[in-house]
Amino acid sequence: MMEPRIGAPISRVDGASKVTGEARYAADHGVPGLAHGHVVSSEIAKGKILRIDTTAALARPGVLWVFTHENAPRLVPPAPRGESEEVAPEGSAFRPLRNARVLYSSQPVALVVAETSELARDAASLVDIEYVRQDHATDLRRNLKRAHKPRGETAPSSRGRADRAWREAAVQVEAEFWMPVEHHNPMELFAATVVPDEDGSLTVYDKTQGVQNVQRYLCRAFKYPEHRLRVLSPFVGGAFGSGLRPQYHVYLAVLAARALKRPVRVTLTRQQMFTFGYRPALWQRVALGASADGRLEAIIHEAVSETSRFEDYTEHVVDSSGLLYQCDNVKLDYKVAKLDLYTPMDMRAPGASSGVYALECAMDEIAFHLGIDPLELRMRNYAQRDQAGDKPFGSKELRACYEQGARRFGWGRRDPRPGSMRDGHTQIGWGMATGVWEAMQEPASAKAILTAEGNLRVSAATADIGTGTYTVMAQIAADTLGLPLENVTFTLGDSSMPDAPVEGGSFTVSSVGSAVRAACEKLRRKIVREARRSRDASRWSGDRLIKVMRRRRIAVMEAQASVEPSGKRERYSHYAHSAIFAEVHVDDDFGTVRVTRVVSAVAGGRIVNPKTARSQILGGIVWGIGMALHEESLLDHRLGRFMNHNLADYHVPVNADVQDLEVIFVEEQDDIVNPLGAKGLGEIGLVGTAAAIANAVFHATGRRVRDLPITPDRLLARAPVISVA
């Protein structure tokens, strides 16, 4: 059998366990004596609890207890930023049941624990709460002038004299953009199953993107040594950033299990999935100035995002505008406005997906006014160097993305006149945009154990949120030691395993994958030393290593390795790039938009597994369709509450919305970004996609809708004329 190599399109090794139901998620673990908790959510957006009456709930047979701020154990107060959470923003993290204060609508204010989940939910409806309401503010549009520079964050880098250059430019475009709140809505609801042992130690099954992050958080909050609290999360049914931070369900489950001294499970409802982090609402202003031949002379990008009263959540919204195109005069500004909402949270491609949308729509507008093809405009302003960081790129194949994507899409046949391409009563539009996402690497560790039977087990405390981590890590290990893939098992999702960062930011393969490779290489060197020979260890195959172990009567050999970003890496800028081309059909009468075709050409370094990588990009494109046309969490500002907190009213793309999607992986070699040369793909598929669709809508209709999503009412209400300074 041929040994699998990095770059082979291997099917998911965990696929069978998922489709057969063998995979166990956080709410699937059967435990004897399990009790169930249901969260009671606040009815007001700001104020305090005057009275809370649990008498009726406690009177129901089978109800074990109702936890409130009046009887919850007094625990360690929230830590400053970074002390107990890996990705916490500046401020004081929210902790449920601490006091009578209500900080946002649907805040957890009680936990009813009963013998069954149905009984707990029914009893929760009997908890009677009287509130003192206070005036709240949840509308970003009305609070833009109250925005401030976020605490603890470095201001985005500006250069030159952008205001003056913009005023003096031959062609000027200035536009404002509004982005709505979006919620993650993974299929798996957030849940935690907490099992106390006889000695008081805890086993916690949680839905999370970082088991060690949850472990540190819980250990600090409940004063537990890490060896007595273990967090497990072998399978995650989607998260998209919502599982980066510990959510309140796991805290409440641990609190109840410790108090009742029995296993407790807390599962949130779909409605309660709207009661914590989200992609924040965002105002943006982009002003571009260019010469008559299309050379950018000024880029101004300002943004105001919302955050909670208790934390300054930030995103790198405007940063891409300083590096994506060649321009000597750039002014960037980012602020946050405090509102009576929960703290926003990273959601797939945070910051870049929003900021690049505004920039790329503005680029399309200036191309139209200059009479230059949008692709040609981007080629004329191609950046050979990262001006923002004043560094060369470690690798950059964006030009090849433009060329290959345009050729596959047929961009050369595009009639530049808006509204010129039709099919009966349907307007056809072609649009394009650029995508960019930083290729990061975090410190990580991994452990490799090889038996004389030729079975390799590799482990790290990372996660698999549906991205194919199980598969690519096994593939990297098999490739490194020259073993058949079926002989390799990769395990993850256990806080007792070697250290790994949260799975997010598209850095898992570069970080954990590099550690897996290092651990396997270290293991090979150990075995070669056992052979008492000085030959080059890198040439030893898996079969030869196993023969050495058997000859030396070694049943098991193991090695653990830790990897950090190299010093050489810091001298360069590292990004994945993409070029997205989209076709839309717009109905003349109803203004309905269908995305009929998308080609996404991606330069993401070395592609470890083209099959799972393609799935990541396809998923990102679908997210881009949702961002452009569907997704919007609507607030009733009178109540400070999200109204469409369900999957019936919060619209996401369905099968009928997803048509012809094509992914091209552009060859890109990079021996600097990390030992594997991989850049990560989770985010780059989304960045720029919404802009390409919006630009295609303009090309079809001549109408520029800058506020997302582009719904029929917004499209039909917009005048076709673009404002030009």
Mean pLDDT of 275-281: 97
- Residue type for 196, please? P
pLDDT at 153 over 90: no
For 570-592, how does the pLDDT look when each residue is reduced to its tens digit (9 = 90+)? 999 999 999 999 999 999 999 99
Q: Is the CB of residue 446 less than 8 Å from the CB of residue 458? A: yes
Q: Are strands 330-338 and 229-232 parallel, antiparallel or unpaired?
A: unpaired
Residue 320 makes CB contacts below 8 A (sequence gap 6+) with 352, 355, 356, 359, 436
pLDDT at 498 over 60: yes
Fold of the 442-564 domain: Aldehyde Oxidoreductase; domain 4 (3.30.365)
Write down the pLDDT at residue 535: 58
Residue 279 makes CB contacts below 8 A (sequence gap 6+) with 179, 181, 182, 183, 344, 345, 347, 350, 354
Mean pLDDT of 363-384: 98
Least confident of 160-164, 545-549, 662-666: 545-549
pLDDT at 621 over 90: yes
Instruction: Pick the catalytic residue from 297, 306, 311, 683.
Output: 683
pLDDT at 725 over 60: no
- pLDDT-derived band at 538 (thresholds 50, 70, 90) equals low
Residue 616 tokens read as 């990541």
* Cα 677 to Cα 365, 438, 439, 606, 672, distances in angstroms: 36, 14, 10, 5, 7
Q: Helix/strand/coil (H, E, C) string of 435-492?
A: EEEECCCCCEEEEEEEECCCCEEEECCCCCCCCCHHHHHHHHHHHHHCCCHHHEEEEC
Give the other-Cβ count within 10 Å of 618's Cβ: 17
For 196-222, how does the pLDDT look when each residue is reduced to its tens digit (9 = 90+)? 999 999 999 999 999 999 999 999 999
pLDDT at 408 over 90: yes
pLDDT at 79 over 80: no
Mean pLDDT of 635-661: 97
Q: Is the CB of residue 210 less than 8 Å from the CB of residue 662? A: no
Measured in degrees and rounded to the nearest 5, phi and psi for residue 260 equal -90, -10
**Residues carrying CATH 3.30.365.10, the chain:** 373-439+574-725, 442-564
Residue 694 tokens read as 């919006």
Q: Is 583 a catalytic residue?
A: no
- pLDDT-derived band at 724 (thresholds 50, 70, 90) equals very low
- Which is more confidently placed, 81 or 459? 459
pLDDT at 519 over 60: yes
Handedness of CA 465, 466, 471, 472 (dihedral sign): negative
The span from the CA of 683 to the CA of 591, in Å, is: 30
pLDDT at 12 over 50: yes
Torsion of CA 188, 194, 195, 197, to 10 degrees: 150
For 83-110, how does the pLDDT look when each residue is reduced to its tens digit (9 = 90+)? 668 889 999 999 999 999 999 999 999 9
Q: What percent of the chain has pLDDT over 70?
A: 97
- Residue type for 127, please? V
Instruction: Give the helix/strand (H/E) hosting 55.
Output: helix 55-58
Fold of the 373-439+574-725 domain: Aldehyde Oxidoreductase; domain 4 (3.30.365)
Burial class (CB in 10 A: 0-12, 13-18, 19+), 198: exposed
Mean pLDDT of 121-125: 98
The span from the CA of 381 to the CA of 573, in Å, is: 18
- Residue type for 369, please? H
Burial class (CB in 10 A: 0-12, 13-18, 19+), 187: exposed
User: Looking up tokens 């509204």, which residue turns up?
Assistant: 419
Mean pLDDT of 382-400: 97
Burial class (CB in 10 A: 0-12, 13-18, 19+), 648: exposed
pLDDT at 661 over 70: yes
- pLDDT-derived band at 723 (thresholds 50, 70, 90) equals very low
**Which of 450, 458, 327, 308 has the alpha carbon at shortest distance from 385?**
327
The span from the CA of 474 to the CA of 289, in Å, is: 50
The span from the CA of 245 to the CA of 313, in Å, is: 12
Write down the pLDDT at residue 718: 61
Mean pLDDT of 57-72: 97
Burial 410-421 (b: 16+ CB within 10 A, else e): ebeebeeebbeb
CA 612 to chain centre: 17
Write down the pLDDT at residue 82: 58
Write down the pLDDT at residue 4: 60
Write down the pLDDT at residue 81: 65
The span from the CA of 352 to the CA of 317, in Å, is: 6
pLDDT at 1 over 50: no
For 287-311, how does the pLDDT look when each residue is reduced to its tens digit (9 = 90+)? 999 999 999 999 999 999 999 999 9
Phi-psi region of 15 (alpha: psi -120 to 50; beta: other; left: phi over 0): alpha
> Can you state the angle between helices 542-551 and 514-530, rounded to 10 degrees?
40
For 437-471, how does the pLDDT look when each residue is reduced to its tens digit (9 = 90+)? 999 999 999 999 999 999 999 999 999 999 999 99
Write down the pLDDT at residue 537: 66
The span from the CA of 587 to the CA of 426, in Å, is: 5
What is the DSSP annotation of 244-260? SSPPHHHHHHHHHHHHH
Instruction: Give the SS3 label for residue 182.
Output: strand
- Residue type for 528, please? V
The average confidence (pLDDT) of the chain is 95
pLDDT at 484 over 70: yes
Q: Is the CB of residue 76 less than 8 Å from the CB of residue 220? A: yes
pLDDT at 649 over 60: yes
pLDDT at 536 over 80: no
- pLDDT-derived band at 3 (thresholds 50, 70, 90) equals low
Q: What percent of the chain has pLDDT over 90?
A: 92
Within a 13 Å sphere around the CA of 275, how many CA atoms are in the beta-carbon half?
Answer: 28
Give the CA diameter of the chain. 80
